[in-house]
Amino acid sequence: MSASDPTTERSGARGTFARIDRMWNRIERTLVGVLGAVALLIAVVQVFGRYINPAGAITWAEEVIVYIAVWAVMIAGSQLARTDGHVRPDLVLRLLPPGAQRWVEMFNCLVAIAFTFGMVWCGWQVVDTAQMLDQRSSSDLQFPLWIYYAALPTGGLLMLIRFVTRLLRYAFWFDPATMTVGRAIAHEAPAALTQSVVE
């Protein structure tokens, strides 16, 4: 009986990890797109209703559009965490060698994990309180506010998982060619500057 090859196991785990990540990305992007389309549809119906039949126009449209937009933003935060799209200063990071960038990025992930854990914890407390008090919106819709508030812990959990994933990538699958800041500046700099750096 031969022992299994550790490199094959790692590549197998990495391939599974990549497939799950691709499926998760598709689900999140689709969900954000559907939420945006629903918000747009409600807005269009409301605007036409105001002009065509003002008496029958829906009164709760703005409220629901806000709820949908908040959910979409919180879900999109996970995509930003995945693509490193959250706003952050990286001037100092660009001055560091790849090995040091790796450690700084891992520290950043730990801070982000702590922050998003706080979002989940505090958000859940708000949701739990809203459910306990049966809080509802003041409009005719009487929307249960715990559903609206649940966007915070849900978005926080999605980002938490992304930052844990990012931390694992930096800890175990670090690739200096693709995972460092400032190594490929073609998309950030004018063509003349890019040429002078290459030469």
Residue 194 pLDDT exceeds 60: no
Look at residue 46 and tell me if it is in a domain. Answer: yes
Look at residue 183 and tell me if it is in a domain. Answer: no
Look at residue 156 and tell me if it is in a domain. Answer: yes
Distance CA 181, CA 100 (A): 11
**What token pair was written down for 51?**
């002009």
pLDDT band, residue 155 (cuts 50/70/90): very high
pLDDT tens digit string along 104-142?
Answer: 899 999 999 999 999 999 999 999 999 999 999 888 889
78 or 95: whose pLDDT is higher?
78
Look at residue 187 and tell me if it is in a domain. Answer: no
pLDDT band, residue 58 (cuts 50/70/90): confident
Look at residue 182 and tell me if it is in a domain. Answer: no
Look at residue 102 and tell me if it is in a domain. Answer: yes
Please name the helix (run of DSSP H) or strand (run of DSSP E) that holds residue 142, with its range, or none: none
Buried b (16+ CB within 10 A) or exposed e, 43-77: eeebeebeeeeeeeeeebbebbbebbebbbebbbb
Count of structural domains, the chain = 1
**What token pair was written down for 64?**
């629901």
Look at residue 51 and tell me if it is in a domain. Answer: yes
- Between the alpha carbon of residue 108 and those of residues 38, 56, 154, 168, 173, the distances in Å are 35, 52, 21, 13, 17
**Across residues 41-54, what is the average pLDDT?**
88
13 or 191: whose pLDDT is higher?
13
Beta-strand (E) ranges in 37-163? Answer: none
pLDDT recorded at residue 90: 77
Distance CA 58, CA 158 (A): 33
Query: Does residue 70 contact residue 161 with C-beta atoms inside 8 Å?
Result: no
pLDDT recorded at residue 11: 63
- SS3 state at 92: helix
Look at residue 110 and tell me if it is in a domain. Answer: yes
pLDDT tens digit string along 174-183?
Answer: 888 777 776 5
pLDDT band, residue 187 (cuts 50/70/90): very low
Distance CA 21, CA 164 (A): 13
pLDDT recorded at residue 103: 92
**What token pair was written down for 107?**
């520290």
Q: Which domain holds residue 60?
A: 9-174
How high is the mean pLDDT of the chain? 84
